[in-house]
Amino acid sequence: MNPGERMHRLIGLTLLLVTLLPAASRAHQGGTDAKGVVKEVAADHITIIEHGDETATFALTPRTEFVVGTTPAKREEIRSGWRVVIHAKKMGGRLEAVLVRTAAGAHP
């Protein structure tokens, strides 16, 4: 590999890392991710069904953000049966949802 090719690869790798690292650090600041189908949304928690029949419950707080597609949403807009990704942090012995995200138009 000549020096020009090496430089081209190094620039490409650098751009890739610069693009991916900020999103990864926001999503994983000591937290966890979960994907599944919403079983229940209540005022203080959300329960999802992960792969198989496993359920996971996350506390909802005033700081929990909800996003449908790229648009900020409210808890009341999230429906049972929707596929979601939840970014959560362990706080006080429980998992608190930091972000609940679902794709726009991907609901039954």
Structure token digits, residue 47: 């329960």
How many residues are given for the chain?
108
Residue 98: which of 80, 84, 86 has the closest Cα? 86
Residue 36: which of 60, 63, 54, 59 has the closest Cα? 54
| Average pLDDT of the residues of the chain | 82
Q: Parse the chain into domains and list their residue ranges.
A: 31-102
pLDDT at 105: 64
pLDDT at 8: 58
Rounded Cα distance between 33 and 19, Å, is 20
Measured distance between the N- and C-terminal CA atoms of the chain, rounded to whole angstroms = 51
CATH number of 31-102: 2.40.50.320
SS3 62: coil
Residue ranges of the chain with per-residue pLDDT less than 50: 16, 20-28
pLDDT at 107: 62
